[in-house]
């Protein structure tokens, strides 16, 4: 695929980003586009590797290895190299309903398992992917494609995040009449309110796709809490032939330490959601970090998004507390290719903080022990301690405080970004669905059937907090099984 000797002739290049000190002054996307000639060169680096692990989509050591939606990566790399962009788009859309999303926010497990990455930097798969889909929009190749025939079956999709959107798109292709219910004021779920605008533009990218889906016949109903007064689940079941639940894992992990009730301590999603709503509505009704010392507890992607958002507000300082150790710069011996590389990475938020304040904001092997107030009910500081990970008497690794490492860090805004515990339970209770031991909806991977016939579950509400691309995988799979339930057979992939 690509040029047979391309991987030996060309080095990995990625598109430039806007300078950190420039981009923190606005909410525009920070990635720039790469010229066509450079994209073709990058496509030429794709090896004729025999067994392309990049689209394997398997779990190794509990982590994704290869693309979970099995994108035909070597094929469209080759087509880009040969300048056949329309054909590349056709191949990409065979497996991916929304390359404009994955090409922006997916962590690219495909690149982690790229055969070339075992000896050299991986092929720039993610950048080529987003370039193909954006070329498709620019050229007018992407137009509404409603199904030629309707089946007469009606399906409700509850939740409009990644899994819900992919399930809706596939069910609509099969000819079913699909209604997507969303409790927020706009569709998109995590894509709309969990990911900041500078990573995924809401109007130019997300709503562009929503409008296309509406033109294809999908109905979006927002401001509707399924299971609540606006739409009781009994009414939902009577109205539709099948239901696909894709509500995500939105129950945040809390930190119940002393001082938790002080003002100025928020869950990360409260902070990010309010910010995006204010940006879209042109209001100042959001949790502001301006002029504040911000401490973010949690070092993952959500913590990074909180850092980038705080910098754009004009915070005085930003610190990320990470209870885990700093990852090594190179793969460790127990983390071989094609596993996901657990190596140290500097994301956009850390890059921006370093440019603004002179250092990476992350503090590793550190946890908060209590929040200190200012005397008027607001947070003023976070007490922290360094930790070491040791085995307990059950053989489990747990963090233990290191005496003498206590610190008091000023903070007028604390953001809790420690992940999610699972799906919220009221809808599950209302539908009467069985749960697994982790409180997720019980439904087997591959069949997605819940304990109630005709009700399916996919995405984080079934598997727990995971990658956006796994949600796309599950939404597509649940659509196929729902179609099979309705029609007796299915031609959906």
pLDDT band for position 2 (cuts 50, 70, 90) = low
CATH number at residue 449: 3.50.50.60
Q: What is the pLDDT of residue 294?
A: 98
Q: What is the pLDDT of residue 230?
A: 87
Same domain, yes or no: 400 and 425: no
- Residue 365 located in a structural domain: yes
CB atoms inside a 10 Å sphere around CB 144: 11
Same domain, yes or no: 414 and 432: no
Same domain, yes or no: 333 and 400: yes
Report the C-alpha gap between 25 and 232 in whole angstroms: 44
Contacts of 140 (CB under 8 A, 6+ apart): none
pLDDT band for position 50 (cuts 50, 70, 90) = confident
Same domain, yes or no: 219 and 276: no
* Cα dihedral 254, 257, 260, 264 in deg (nearest 10): -80
Residues spanned by the domain of 283? 254-418
- Dump pLDDT digits (tens) for 391-441: 999 999 999 999 999 999 999 999 999 999 999 999 999 999 999 999 999
- Residue 144 located in a structural domain: no
Q: What is the pLDDT of residue 1?
A: 60
CATH number at residue 104: 1.10.1060.10
Same domain, yes or no: 90 and 183: no
Q: Report, as an integer, the average pLDDT of 136-150.
A: 98
The region, left, alpha or beta by phi > 0 then psi within -120 to 50, assigned to residue 78 is: alpha
Element containing residue 421 per DSSP (H, E) = strand 420-422
- In this structure, the strands spanning 251-252 and 379-391 are unpaired
- Residue 265 located in a structural domain: yes
CB atoms inside a 10 Å sphere around CB 61: 11
Q: What is the DSSP letter of 323?
A: S
Mean of pLDDT over the chain: 96
Contacts of 6 (CB under 8 A, 6+ apart): 41, 44, 45, 46, 47, 81
Report the C-alpha gap between 110 and 127 in whole angstroms: 12
Same domain, yes or no: 262 and 233: no
Residue with tokens 């992350």: 362
Domain boundary among 114, 139, 164: 139
Indicate the SS3 state at residue 369: strand
Same domain, yes or no: 236 and 263: no
Q: Report, as an integer, the average pLDDT of 56-60.
A: 93
- Residue 145 located in a structural domain: no
- Dump pLDDT digits (tens) for 372-402: 999 999 999 999 999 999 999 999 999 999 9
pLDDT band for position 48 (cuts 50, 70, 90) = confident
- Dump pLDDT digits (tens) for 247-287: 999 999 999 999 999 999 999 999 999 999 999 999 999 99
Domain boundary among 82, 107, 139: 139
């Amino acid at each position: 695929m690509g040029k047979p000797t391309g991987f030996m002739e060309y080095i990995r290049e990625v598109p430039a980003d806007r300078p950190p000190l420039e981009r923190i002054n606005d909410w525009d996307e920070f990635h720039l586009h790469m010229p066509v000639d450079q994209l073709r060169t990058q496509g030429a680096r794709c090896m004729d590797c025999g067994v392309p692990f990049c689209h394997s989509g398997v779990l190794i050591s509990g982590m994704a290895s290869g693309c979970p939606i099995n994108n035909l990566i070597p094929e469209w790399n080759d087509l880009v190299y040969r300048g056949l962009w329309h054909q590349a788009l056709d191949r990409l859309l065979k497996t991916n309903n929304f390359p404009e999303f994955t090409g922006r926010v997916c962590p690219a497990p495909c690149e982690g398992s790229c055969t070339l990455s075992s000896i050299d930097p991986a092929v720039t798969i993610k950048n080529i992917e987003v370039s193909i889909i954006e070329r498709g929009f620019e050229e007018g190749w992407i137009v509404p494609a409603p199904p030629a025939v309707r089946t007469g079956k009606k399906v409700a999709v509850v939740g409009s995040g990644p899994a819900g959107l992919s399930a809706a798109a596939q069910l609509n292709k099969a000819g079913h009449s699909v209604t997507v219910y969303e409790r927020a004021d706009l569709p998109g779920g995590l894509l709309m309110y969990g990911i900041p605008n500078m990573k995924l533009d809401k109007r130019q990218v997300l709503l562009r796709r929503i409008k296309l889906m509406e033109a294809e016949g999908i109905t979006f109903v927002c401001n509707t809490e399924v299971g609540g007064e606006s739409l009781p689940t009994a009414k939902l079941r009577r109205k539709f032939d099948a239901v696909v639940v894709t509500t995500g894992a939105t129950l945040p992990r809390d930190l119940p330490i002393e001082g938790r009730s002080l003002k100025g301590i928020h869950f990360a999603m409260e902070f990010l959601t309010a910010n995006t709503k204010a940006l879209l509505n042109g209001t100042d009704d959001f949790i502001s970090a301006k002029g504040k010392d911000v401490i973010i507890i949690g070092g993952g992607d959500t913590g990074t998004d909180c850092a980038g958002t705080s910098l754009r507000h004009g915070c005085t300082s930003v610190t990320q507390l990470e209870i885990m150790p700093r990852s090594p710069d190179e793969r460790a011996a127990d983390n071989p290719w094609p596993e996901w590389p657990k190596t140290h990475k500097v994301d956009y938020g850390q890059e921006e903080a370093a440019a603004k304040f002179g250092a990476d904001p992350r503090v590793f092997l550190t946890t908060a022990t209590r929040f200190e107030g200012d005397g008027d009910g607001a947070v003023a500081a976070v007490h922290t301690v360094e930790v070491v990970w040791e085995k307990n008497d059950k053989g489990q690794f747990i963090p233990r405080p290191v005496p003498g490492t206590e610190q008091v860090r000023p903070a007028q805004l604390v953001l809790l970004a420690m992940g999610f515990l699972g799906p919220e339970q009221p809808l599950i209770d209302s539908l009467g669905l069985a749960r697994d031991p982790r409180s997720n909806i019980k439904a087997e991977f591959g069949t997605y059937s819940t304990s109630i016939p005709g009700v399916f579950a996919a995405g984080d509400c079934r598997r727990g907090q995971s990658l956006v691309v796994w949600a796309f995988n599950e939404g597509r799979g649940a659509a196929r099984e729902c179609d099979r339930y309705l029609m007796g057979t299915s031609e959906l992939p």
